[in-house]
Amino acid sequence: MEKAALEWKQVVKKRDRMVLGPVDLKLYDNYVTALIGRNGSGKSTLMKLAAQLIMPDEGEVTWYGQSYPQGLPTDVRASIAYVPENFASEEDSLKMDDVAAFRAAWYPKWDWQRFEELLNRFDVPGGKKMSKLSKGQRRKFEIAAALAIRPKLLLLDEPSSGLDPFAWKTMMNEIRRCVDEDGASVLLSTHIVEEVRRMADYLVLIDKGRSLGLLEKDALMDRGREIWIGRDDELLAEMPGVVESAIESEGMVRFVTLDYAGSSALLDEAGVKPIRVRALELDEVMEHWMNGGLSN
């Protein structure tokens, strides 16, 4: 059984315009898990609960099997790195070096060599005040600082916002390295399909404050197919997992299924050979999942 790095147990959090939960969800250790969903679905709230920046109104969050309702101990908090979508302004008047030194004092595993290396690779000029950094430069600084603490748990809320393509590629490689070499667990909230495709091991769909399931990305991709067959209305009606269908011509029908294994078995049983089969792209499968076409 996979070990849980993070677990939300019957968690409810009431916000101004939305109620998150109840959420029952596990984040598996040493994997990248991507939170997907529409804007306002509750992804950032889930992330803040994981960083214990807010507390649940009901239920509990556990870190490696332990709950800390009175606050995270110093050693646990020092093992968590969080990069929010929007940055606080408290550090705006400080210089980059002073901010880095302050954070290094709080994180025993802070790696100056890695931090400087990442700033160089991200092409972030030194010596500036935080307020003078562009949005992209500030994002690069925060990602470099998060990776410099060599976190056990890395929380990233829309990390690619404001990044140029070169920095984006570096970021993805470094996050994967953080998992593969350092054994970290990563929770990633993103709208970028390519990030999900290249980095995620698991996907969690959040919709209207509810978790609609956790699925392994590769297993999810195996489910989705677009299939063309000779028209047979009765057979089509029996086909499992169909989320879309259309008559292509007088003698041919096209359908999209999210249960390819079941559909393929039924076609074999009926002695029907598909005219054509196309694997769905990740964004297509995600869209059908968001629209309610898939259950665990």
Q: Which long-range contacts (CB under 8 A, 24 or more apart) does 190-195 make?
A: 190/34, 190/35, 190/36, 190/156, 190/158, 190/159, 190/160, 191/36, 191/158, 192/160, 193/282, 193/283, 193/286, 195/34, 195/160
Please name which of 112, 57, 119, 45 lies closest in space to residue 84, comparing C-alpha atoms. Answer: 45
Please name which of 77, 78, 105, 102 lies closest in space to residue 90, comparing C-alpha atoms. Answer: 102
**Annotated catalytic, 250?**
no
Report the chain's C-alpha Rg in angstroms.
22
DSSP state of 131: G
Which residue type sits at 214? Answer: L
Torsion angles phi and psi, residue 182, rounded to 5: -95, -10
End-to-end CA, the chain:
18
Query: Of residues 7, 142, 158, 195, which has the active-site annotation?
Result: 158
CB of 42 closer than 8 Å to CB of 206: yes
Instruction: Give residue 124's region: left, alpha or beta (phi > 0; psi -120 to 50).
Output: beta
Residues recognised as catalytic: 158
